[in-house]
Amino acid sequence: MDKNTLLQVWPIPAFDDNYIWCIHDGSSALVVDPGDAVPTLAYLRANNLTLKGILITHHHADHTGGILQILQNLGIDIPVYGPVGDDIPGRTVAVMQDDKVEIPSPRMSLKVFEVPGHTLSHIAYFANMQANVVEPMLFCGDTLFASGCGRLFEGTPTQMSESLGKFAALPKNTLVYCTHEYTLSNIRFALAVEPNNLNLLSWADQAKSLREQGLPTLPTTIGQELQVNPFMRCDQAEVIAMAKEISGQAELPTPAHVLAVIRAWKDRF
Ligand SMILES: [Zn+2]
C-alpha cells in the first residue's frame, strides 16, 4: 500500500468548541459539518488541499452555516451529502439509512446510519476496512460525544438509545470523530453517574492532560465509549442503580428508561 494514499483526518477548530473534520489523502479533501467557512477555507489553503465533497450530519447552523460560502468562495461544483429529512443549504445528494456514499477522491466508501435523537433526521457516516483506511471511522455529528451524547432537541430517549445501540455494534477499534470538544464537562457528569468506574477515572486524567497541552481529546473509539460513557452503559448495574436513585423510580425496565433519566439529569447538571 502506498503510504501517501492513506487517509488522514484532522480537526479544524471552529466557534468555541466545534471541530470541522477534514479527511484528506494529501491532495483531495472532504469536510464534515463545516459550520464556519472561514477556518475551513484557511485550512484547505494552508495545506494545499482541493475540496471534493462535503458531508453533513444534521441541520443545525453550527454544522451547516459555512456550506454556501465555501462553495461560492471556491467556485466549485462538488457533492454535498446530507440527511433526506432535513433542509440543508446547498445539499446535492440526500441520503438515508444503509445508503453508500462513494467518493472517488479522496477514495473512500461510507455507509449511512440514521441516528435520530439529537435531531429527528440526524445521520452518521461510517467507513470500514478499505485499502486506504487503517481503522474504521465514524463521523457521528452531535449524536455521540466522548463520554457523553447529544441533547435530545427533537428525538426521544428511546430513539437515542437505539441510535447509540447502532454505534455499540460497530467494531471496537472504530475511531469516533465527534463534532464538539465537550469531553471534560462530560467526564465530570460521567463521574457523578459512575464514581467507581476505574476506566473512567484513568480517562479523566488523560483527557485533562490532553486539554492542558491544547490537544483535542478526539477521536475516541467505540471500545473506549463502551467503558466510560454512561449513555452507552445504560445496561450496566452501577448506571441503572444511580438512575434509580436519582429518579426515585423503583423500576427502570429498559436501557432507554435509564437513558431518559440520566439525559434529563445531565440537562440540569
Ligand atoms: Zn446539533
Summarize pLDDT for 216-240 with one digit per residue, the tens.
999 999 999 999 999 999 999 999 9
6 confidence band (pLDDT: 50, 70, 90):
confident
> Could you tell me the distance, in angstroms and rounded to a whole number, from the CA of residue 170 to the centre of ligand 1?
22
Which of 230, 269, 264 is CA-nearest to residue 156?
264
Q: Which residue has the cell 485499502?
A: 131
5 confidence band (pLDDT: 50, 70, 90):
low
Dihedral angle of Cα 3, 176, 140, 136, to the nearest 10 degrees: 50
**What CATH superfamily classification does 3-267 receive?**
Ribonuclease Z/Hydroxyacylglutathione hydrolase-like (3.60.15.10)
Whether 198 shows a pLDDT value over 50: the answer reads yes
**Residues within 5 Å of ion ligand 1, judged at the Cβ atom:** 60, 142
Give 202's contacts (C-beta < 8 A, 6+ positions apart).
none
- Write down the mean pLDDT value for the chain: 96
Summarize pLDDT for 245-260 with one digit per residue, the tens.
999 999 999 999 999 9
> Could you tell me the distance, in angstroms and rounded to a whole number, from the CA of residue 173 to the centre of ligand 1?
25
User: CB count, 10 Å around CB of 213?
Assistant: 7
Whether the predicted model's global pTM rises above the 0.85 cut: yes
> Could you tell me the distance, in angstroms and rounded to a whole number, from the CA of residue 131 to the centre of ligand 1?
32
